[in-house]
Copies of this chain bind each other. A is one copy, B any other.
Amino acid sequence: MIKVGIIGSTGYAGQELVRILLQHKEAEILMFGSQSYKDKKYYEAYRNMFKLVDNVCSDGSVEELAKEVDVIFTATPNGYCSSIINEDILSRTKVIDLSADFRIKDIDNYKEWYGIEHRSFSYVNEAVYGLPEINRELIKTARLIANPGCYPTCSILTLAPLLKENIIDKDSVIIDAKSGTSGAGRGAKVDNLYCEVNESMKAYGVGTHRHIPEIEQELAKAAGIPMYINFTPHLVPMNRGILVTAYASLNKAMTEEEVRDIYEAYYKNENFVRILPKGIFPETRWVEGSNYLDINIKIDPRTNKVIMIGAIDNLVKGAAGQAVQNMNIMFGLEENAGLNLIPLFP
């Protein structure tokens, strides 16, 4: 039984970790970390957990926690994990960080986009970018996982096969992404009030969203050369779900079948990636609550472009589900242990 501590268990991603791990036969949560609900029952933060979790939230020292658990998930604001990580902790426990602290390998890039001085940059190189479909082997032996962002997970996996196979023009990539509102977190902000989000659609962070360098870094690995992309996120009046609609120019004329074959081959052994049948495009409702990524593509011969569409649940494959997938790999479990979550509809 893997002993788990969650720092930041009362944010949306933290709660989703709790939901998934409660259903995981080989993991047990020992510590529900929270500053805002310290010394309160966990179910006071999330009443769905009444009678399911009787634990009290705590805000104790990471050092002590590292002695007691096999893995720590940090579902905390950017800057937290990098401020506490050290050799002592990593020698005792594994760490899966759901924040951005260890995702960006270039320190200048990190500083530029996040505006935070990194406090443990020496561990950035050790940290493995936890996208199992791409980095599975490295994850197996990692001590520290940089769990990918929600937009990057969906964007990278939707685009990587065609970049890797040099099918599309690397300078032509445009990613138009749409996210449910849980991606904005549980902080009390006017912009995220029901009446402000409901019945509206908007772009935000236009040209400046912090997931841009993360997407570019990983797509560059797939492409083999530096990448600069356009990425525009949008806020959708729904709780969960990310839809990525990506556009690129084809390097040469190809049929839809040829392109879909590339995806099928690339993901043929993957549990959590579903390449949809021709003509059926991803919709976020069909992955809600599950760890699936649905993908399909369309060739537009009139403009010689390929439209690539991917959908995930931002809290599952985009955060907590992927974190558990990483945990499973790190501990030698079946990769889908606790993750056979059937999408909930309607």
Interface residues of A (CB under 8 A from B): 12, 15, 19, 22-23, 46-52, 171, 174, 176, 178, 180-182, 186-190, 192-204, 206-207, 228-230, 232, 234, 236-241, 243, 245, 247, 274, 276, 280-290, 294, 298-300, 302-303, 305, 307, 309, 311, 340, 342-346
Q: Closest residue to A41 on the B side, CB-wise?
A: B277
Residues of B contacting A187 in the complex (Cβ-Cβ under 8 angstroms): 190
Instruction: Answer whether A274 and B305 are a contact pair too, CB < 8 Å, given A174-B247, A237-B237, A300-B207.
Output: no
Residues of B contacting A51 in the complex (Cβ-Cβ under 8 angstroms): 274
* B198–A198 CB distance below 8 A: yes
Q: Closest residue to A343 on the B side, CB-wise?
A: B48
Q: Chain B's nearest CB lies how many Å from the CB of A304?
A: 9
* B207–A195 CB distance below 8 A: no
Instruction: Answer whether A238 and B200 are a contact pair too, CB < 8 Å, given A230-B300, A342-B22.
Output: yes
* A239–B307 CB distance below 8 A: no
From the candidates B15, B50, B189, B245, name the one contacting A234 in the complex (CB within 8 A): B245
* A207–B283 CB distance below 8 A: no
Residues of B contacting A15 in the complex (Cβ-Cβ under 8 angstroms): 345
Residues of B contacting A311 in the complex (Cβ-Cβ under 8 angstroms): 201
* A203–B245 CB distance below 8 A: yes
Residues of B contacting A229 in the complex (Cβ-Cβ under 8 angstroms): 303
From the candidates B182, B207, B283, B346, name the one contacting A202 in the complex (CB within 8 A): B283
A243 to B200, CA, bound (A): 9
* B282–A202 CB distance below 8 A: yes
Residues of B contacting A182 in the complex (Cβ-Cβ under 8 angstroms): 195, 346
